[in-house]
Amino acid sequence: MKTFPMFLQMAGRKVVIVGGQEQAAQKARLILKSEAEVTLLAPSLDAELADLVAAGRVTHDTGAIMPESFVDTALVFVASGCPGADMALHALAKAGGAVVNVVDQPHLCDAITPSIVDRDPVVVAIGTEGTAPVLARQIKTKLEETLEPRLGDLASLAGRLRGAAAARLAPRLRRDLWRWVFNDSPRRMFTGGAERDAAKLIKTAIETGGFGNDTGGSVALVGAGPGAKDLITLRGVQRLQEADVIYYDRLLDPEILELARRDAERVYVGKAPGCHSWPQEKITQTLVAAAKRGQRVVRLKCGDPGIFGRSTEEIDALKDAHIPFEIVPGVTAACAAAASVGQSLTERGNVETLTLTTGHLEGGYVVPDAIKDLQPGTCVALYMAIGAAPRIVDALQTTHSDAPLDVQIVAKAQRKGQVLATCEVKDLPATLAKHDINGEAMLLIRWPGNHAIANQSDSSTPLLSAI
Asked whether residue 8 is assigned to any structural domain, the reply reads no
The region of weakest confidence among 83-97, 216-230, 442-456 is: 442-456
Is 233 found in the same domain as 199?
Answer: no
Asked whether residue 31 is assigned to any structural domain, the reply reads yes
271 is known as an active-site residue: yes
- 1 pLDDT band (50/70/90 cuts)? confident
pLDDT at 270 over 90: no
From 307, 331, 355, the end of a domain falls on 331
Residue of 86, 153, 244, 249 marked catalytic = 249
Residue 427 · residue 378 · CB < 8 Å:
no
Q: State how far the alpha carbon of 411 is from the alpha carbons of 271, 336, 346, 421, 440, in Å.
A: 18, 10, 20, 9, 6
Residue 13 · residue 36 · CB < 8 Å:
yes
Contacts of 244 (CB under 8 A, 6+ apart): 264, 265, 290, 295, 296, 297
- What one-character-per-residue DSSP string does 213-274 give? -----EEEEEE-BTS-GGGS-HHHHHHHHH-SEEEE---S-GGGGGGS-TTSEEEE---BTT
Q: What percent of the chain shows pLDDT beyond 70?
A: 93
Residue 426 · residue 393 · CB < 8 Å:
yes
Is 395 found in the same domain as 347?
Answer: yes
Q: Per residue, what are the HEC states of 162-184?
A: HHHHHHHCCHHHHHHHHHHHHHC
Q: Give the per-residue pLDDT at 271.
A: 55
Residue 280 · residue 310 · CB < 8 Å:
yes
- The torsion angles phi and psi of 276, rounded to 5 degrees, stand at -75, 115
Going by the DSSP 8-state scheme, the letter that residue 3 receives in this structure is S
Q: Give the per-residue pLDDT at 371.
A: 93
Asked whether residue 125 is assigned to any structural domain, the reply reads no
Distance of CA 243 to the CA centre of its chain: 19
CATH code at 280? 3.40.1010.10
Domain assignment of residue 411, given as a range: 335-457
pLDDT at 65 over 60: yes
CATH code at 432? 3.30.950.10
pLDDT at 456 over 70: no
Distance CA 140, CA 118 (A): 10
Distance of CA 182 to the CA centre of its chain: 22
Average pLDDT over residues 377-389: 94
pLDDT at 465 over 50: no
Give how many domains the chain has, as a whole number: 4
Residue of 271, 301, 304, 406 marked catalytic = 271
Asked whether residue 268 is assigned to any structural domain, the reply reads yes
Is 429 found in the same domain as 366?
Answer: yes
Cis peptide before 121 (omega within 30 of 0): yes
The tens digit of pLDDT for each residue in 405-455 reads: 989 999 999 988 899 999 999 999 999 999 999 878 999 999 988 654 444
The tens digit of pLDDT for each residue in 7-52 reads: 999 999 999 999 999 999 999 999 999 999 999 999 999 999 999 9
Is 399 found in the same domain as 365?
Answer: yes
